[in-house]
Amino acid sequence: MSNWILGLTGGIGAGKTAVSDMLAKKGITIVDADVIAKQVVALGSVGLNTIVDKFGKEILQTDGTLDRAKLRHIIFSDSHSKQWLEQLLHPLIREEIITQLHSAKGPYVVLSAPLLFENKLDVLCSHTLLVDVPEHTQLARTTERDSVPQQQVEKIIAAQMSRAEKLKRANTILNNDKSLTEMYNQLEILHQNFVSTALNHSTCG
């Protein structure tokens, strides 16, 4: 893969989407693992048909699409179902990610994935950027944004790699515990550095 790839990650509520949206406005291609995860279970897909075979038609909404809330409830209540789903979806998602990374244009490409390290997607990346906030900020932002109980958000955080481990693994940390303006100012500097690094990489390559 000749593209210089920035792996972007962050826990729920950390502000990863705000970062990827800003980079997209600067003309950077965003390969979003969450978007791809939805594509591989879209109506008529092999992924969706396999899920229906496993859990029955009650996993579907009235229009035939996947009831994601129902599926999320099942997998967070049952570790075997979670493991089964991961074994089905991860190879499909990874294959599509690699296809999109290959075809991306621009100075560099972003692979945005909440489970970048957990799913070993960081091995596809030239550099990793962690959008970081304390856990209490994650809880406050997510419960307000998604109107979900705090206990559910705590379960999601607990199921992901610890903040300390992510901080240890990431090449660069972007602190997003203050205002959006401050985050954008930090990101602008990082973006210029990434463009420069990617340019050097392509020249050397």
Residue with tokens 């340019």: 199
Cα(131)–Cα(17) distance, integer angstroms: 10
Question: If 0-12 CB within 10 Å is exposed, 13-18 middle and 19+ buried, where does residue 58 land?
Answer: exposed
Q: Is 15 annotated as a binding residue?
A: yes
Q: In what order do the strands lie in the sheet with 29-32?
A: 29-32, 109-112, 5-9, 127-132, 172-175
Residue 137 annotated as binding site: no
- First-to-last alpha carbon distance for the chain, in angstroms, is 11
Alpha carbon distance 122, 112 (integer Å):
10
Q: Please indicate if the annotation marks 14 as binding a ligand.
A: yes
Is residue 17 a known part of a binding site?
yes
Q: Are 190 and 174 in contact, with CB atoms under 8 Å apart?
A: yes
The verdict on whether residue 205 carries a ligand-binding annotation is: no
Bind-site residues: 13-18
Bind-site residues for ATP: 13-18
